[in-house]
Amino acid sequence: MSIGEFEVISRFFVRRGERAPAQEGVLLGIGDDAALLRVPDGADLVAAVDTIVAGRHFPLETDARSIGHRALAVNLSDFAAMGASPAWATLALTMPTAEPAWLEGFAAGLWELADRYGVTLVGGDTTSGPLTVSLQLLGHVPRGTAIRRSGARAGDILAVTGTLGDAGAGLWLARARTAARGQALTGTDAPPHTGVLARELIERFEYPAPRVQFGLAARGIATAAMDISDGLVGDLPKLAAASGVSAHVEVDRLPLSQALRELATPLQARDWALAAGDDYELLFAVPPDRFGLLSEAASRIGLALTAIGELGAGSGVTWTLNGMAWVPGVIGYDHFR
């Protein structure tokens, strides 16, 4: 049964009592015409917004909890790439009907991440229409210390966190799971989406882990960073162009998870790692003499950091595979192409 707009807000988005976390810097939260926030002394205000649309950023049948998680995770990942501390969020939620069970799941996914990273929801907007979730994240960074895309220099090492391609595989497997639900299984082969490794990859798509802690640790070490949301092939040229340098990647060095290697063919794994996007790993430029420092920061939190290439003078991106010049046959995600 669909409920009213006021009930949606007060039941699912206003937190009371012990469920209301510490509200650092919140002078006025949900309930007035606008929120009032106070940035710490000596800090720069950081703002990011990302919209996710059903059927575009996630399959229509995705769990509400995963959608709530994603709405915040994609913004946290942008903050991670800036080395910024997240603090406050506003949520513009558009949905066809207001179903309590769906809202329950959505809010649970949102609060899990919000609590982990100390984010307070301070306002929003609730409207009816096709399922679209727009979340704005606000936070801060000590004045002048944010990591930009534009700071890389020729000679810097190019490095990525975690493993690439898992979310691409996970999306494919989640779709296979949906298709299997709609039809009786034939044959004796186990369906591809079952099993521990498949579930691990689906989890990587449905519950991406933003690298917030590592982004903070990279401040003062990395010269440039961005998060890989549209795939390396689509995103790396943006970092290179912003910094006015060229980039070179040795494709054999792209970090692939055990699960991806076991479940996908080498060709498919490589394509997903290059272009599927949605991994929300971070791409860094770091001077060679500081790579060790960045690496240590990564191991302290149990995160892999892999050097995949370097930056040079000039412009553009080049790739090698097995030591030979190579051109990816896949392109990054673009909404209007």
Binding residues for ligand ADP, per CB under 6 A? 9, 13, 30-33, 91, 93, 121, 123-126
Residue 26 structure tokens: 């919140």
Closer of 12 and 79 to ligand ADP (Cβ):
12
Q: Which does 152 bind (CB under 5 to 8 A by kind): Mg ion, ligand ADP, none?
A: none
Closer of 9 and 74 to ligand ADP (Cβ):
9
**Does 18 interact with Mg ion (rule: CB under 5 A)?**
no
Q: Which does 178 bind (CB under 5 to 8 A by kind): ligand ADP, Mg ion, none?
A: none
Q: Residues in contact with Mg ion, total (CB under 5 A)?
A: 1
Residue 224 structure tokens: 């440039």
CB of 280 to ligand ADP, least distance (A): 23
CB of 8 to ligand ADP, least distance (A): 7
CB of 133 to ligand ADP, least distance (A): 9
Q: Which does 13 bind (CB under 5 to 8 A by kind): ligand ADP, Mg ion, none?
A: ligand ADP
Closer of 35 and 171 to Mg ion (Cβ):
35
CB of 248 to ligand ADP, least distance (A): 45
The 3-class secondary structure across the chain, one letter per residue, is: CCCCHHHHHHHHHCCCHHHCCCCCCEEECECECCCEECCCCCEEEEEEEEEEEECCCECCCCCHHHHHHHHHHHHHHHHHHHCCEEEEEEEEEEECCCCHHHHHHHHHHHHHHHHHCCCEEEEEEEEECCCEEEEEEEEEEECCCCCCHHHCCCCCEEEEECCCCHHHHHHHHHHHHHHHHCCCCCCCCCCCCCCHHHHHHHHHHHCCCCCHHHHHHHCCCCCEEEEECCCHHHHHHHHHHHHCCEEEEEHHHCCCCHHHHHHCCHHHHHHHHHHHCCCCEEEEEECHHHHHHHHHHHHHCCCCEEEEEEEECCCCEEEEECCEEECCCCCCCCCCC
Closer of 53 and 293 to ligand ADP (Cβ):
53
Tell me which amino acid residue 210 is: P
Q: Which does 30 bind (CB under 5 to 8 A by kind): ligand ADP, Mg ion, none?
A: ligand ADP
Q: Which does 93 bind (CB under 5 to 8 A by kind): Mg ion, ligand ADP, none?
A: ligand ADP
Closer of 33 and 334 to Mg ion (Cβ):
33
Closer of 34 and 185 to Mg ion (Cβ):
34
Q: Which does 332 bind (CB under 5 to 8 A by kind): ligand ADP, Mg ion, none?
A: none
Q: Which does 132 bind (CB under 5 to 8 A by kind): Mg ion, ligand ADP, none?
A: none
HSE of 103 in the Cβ direction (CA atoms, 13 Å)? 22
Q: Which does 244 bind (CB under 5 to 8 A by kind): ligand ADP, Mg ion, none?
A: none
Q: Which residue is nearest to Mg ion (CB)?
A: 33
Q: Which of 1, 17, 33, 323 binds Mg ion (CB under 5 A)?
A: 33
The rounded distance, in Å, linking the Cα atoms of 251 and 275 is: 12
CB of 33 to Mg ion, least distance (A): 4
* Binding region for Mg ion (CB under 5 A) out of 32-40, 99-107, 122-130, 261-269: 32-40
Residue 236 structure tokens: 């790396």
Residue 128 structure tokens: 């009816």
Residue 91 structure tokens: 């949520």
What residues line the site for Mg ion (CB under 5 A)? 33
